[in-house]
Structure 1
């Protein structure tokens, strides 16, 4: 009888260990499969197998290579000196040297043609600014955003034109001097 009780206890202990092993397999297997699937997805093996995000093929079945991104082109603006809207008897001036970042180098000719309008819009905006507005990086960033918006307005082709508009993506300051 003692032998039967001992055998029963051994079976119960073995049953508990087997249940724990089953739980471990039930938890670990989906995690392992999910990890393998994620690795295949993010390494672009799985999407290419299903044709998701594939490059379009030409008439011969070859995939077209993505066009390499163009390096940005820059347009050098002439130096601008303008008096600021300052209170007091003493005038305050700003000296600004900048470059325009453009998407295509071919747009430099269109910007050169619009340069008088561009300079007028820049100087008009600078004359309305107060010296306090140019202080700090936040003031410089606001000036950059405003000049970029004005530059895109100045270089826009006239209504009804079939030419694509030059796009100015940034205004880079090479010198800002407030005196």
Structure 2
């Protein structure tokens, strides 16, 4: 009773469960590595442009490139057309006894050469709009590059309003003085 014999373990035979455990881990690693490897190869082929070409997702290079005889030579861009504006001097809107002055010398960049005649004819009205707008500005609004940019945008809008068929592309400041 006191001596109950425990059964002795037999030595593991070849191919026993201990070997099966190690083989199971290897199989699991292989089963995970194969899809990752295939995914990496597929991504490499896709981003290199080989796979879309094989799948017919874009035309072959020969069909995409136009023939040398089909190429039309674009005409060179027209040179810019500039129109000098007369100097504009205006009082700024500021409290106090002495109102600050602003003096602006600028050029208009026009879309076409034909627009210069229209702008020259509309110049008195344009100068009136510019001077009226400048009289309502405060000196703080003209400070910094942001103030200059806002002024430019407002002057372009007013110039395009005055000379309706003509188009002003940009207002180029030669000089801005606030006193």
Q: TM-score, normalised by structure 2?
A: 0.69
Deviation for aligned residue 1:119: 1.1
Quick check: 121-130 or 10-19, which moved more? 10-19
Deviations 1:71-99 (A, max 9, x none): 54332212111222332222321110112
In the TM superposition, what is the alpha-carbon distance from 1:51 to its structure 2 partner? 7.7
Provide runs of 4+ in structure 1 moved above 6 Å. Answer: 38-41
1:95 paired with 2:103, answer yes
Q: Distance in 2 between matches of 1:115 and 1:85?
A: 24
Distance 1:113 1:26, change over 3 A: same
Deviation at 1:140, TM superposition (A): 2.1
- Secondary structure of the corresponding residue to residue 97 of structure 2: coil
Counterpart selection for 1:85 from 77, 84, 93:
93
Q: Is residue 167 from structure 1 mapped to residue 167 from structure 2 by the alignment?
A: yes
Q: Secondary structure at the match of 2:145?
A: helix
Quote the offset at 1:152 in angstroms: 0.5
Partner of 2:147: 139
How does 1:20-169 map onto structure 2 within 5 Å?
20-37=32-49, 46=58, 62-65=70-73, 69-156=77-164, 165-169=165-169
Q: CA RMSD in A?
A: 3.5
Question: 1:176 matched to which residue of 2?
Answer: 176
Ranges in structure 2 where 5+ consecutive residues have no aligned partner: 1-11
Count residues with an aligned counterpart: 161
User: Which structure has the larger Rg?
Assistant: 2
- Structure 1: gaps spanning 5 or more residues: 157-164
**CA deviation string 1:89-113 (max 9, x = no partner):** 2232111011222223332222222
Structure with a larger share of its residues in helix? 1
- Compared with structure 1, are the counterparts of its residues 126 and 19 closer, same or farther at alpha carbon in structure 2 (3 Å cutoff)? same
Secondary structure of 2:140's counterpart equals helix
